[in-house]
């Protein structure tokens, strides 16, 4: 697979409203989009840092994987997302051939109109890894 850059870092937060003052007033970043991703039961807020983004993830339901993550590990870095130049479908196929466990068998729709798929942290040394393409 061909990775061009880190597309974003996903950070689990209990509340976007409580988290934003730190990112905006202390770090001086600007939130430019807040969006609900229904099938992942999360609300997301995006801030740009150069070519990379910070994606704040707030659970919208106790069944959300983000809610469970916060319950088990507390708020904090949840995943790293790489921008894939030659397509998420290709990257998934390649990962499977290399015996990497995948969470998604095929690309699906993520926030901001991206095609996304996740690799399982059991196969990625503990780092939940998202592959995405515009």
Residues engaged in binding Zn ion (CB under 5 A): 10, 55, 81, 130
Least separation, in Å, of the C-beta of 3 and Zn ion? 15
Least separation, in Å, of the C-beta of 96 and Zn ion? 20
Rank residues 66 and 81 by Cβ distance to Zn ion and give the closer one: 81
Q: Which of 42, 17, 41 is nearest to 31 (CA)?
A: 17
Reduce the DSSP state of residue 9 to 3 states and report it.
Answer: strand
Determine contact, residues 31/45, Cβ cutoff 8 Å. Answer: yes
Rank residues 77 and 99 by Cβ distance to Zn ion and give the closer one: 77
d(CA 102, CA 100): 6
Rank residues 25 and 77 by Cβ distance to Zn ion and give the closer one: 77
Residue nearest to Zn ion (CB): 10
């Amino acid at each position: 697979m061909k990775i061009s850059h880190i597309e974003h870092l996903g950070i689990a937060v209990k509340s976007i409203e409580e988290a934003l003052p730190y990112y905006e007033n202390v770090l001086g970043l600007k939130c430019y989009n807040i969006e609900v991703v229904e099938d992942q039961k999360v609300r997301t807020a995006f801030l740009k840092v150069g070519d990379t983004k910070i994606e704040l993830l707030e659970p919208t339901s106790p069944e959300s994987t983000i809610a469970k993550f916060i319950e088990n590990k507390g708020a904090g870095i949840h995943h790293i997302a790489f921008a894939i130049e030659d397509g998420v479908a290709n990257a998934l196929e390649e990962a499977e051939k290399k015996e990497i466990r995948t969470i998604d068998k095929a690309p699906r729709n993520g926030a901001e109109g991206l095609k996304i798929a996740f690799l399982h942290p059991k196969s990625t040394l503990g780092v939940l890894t998202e592959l995405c393409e515009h």
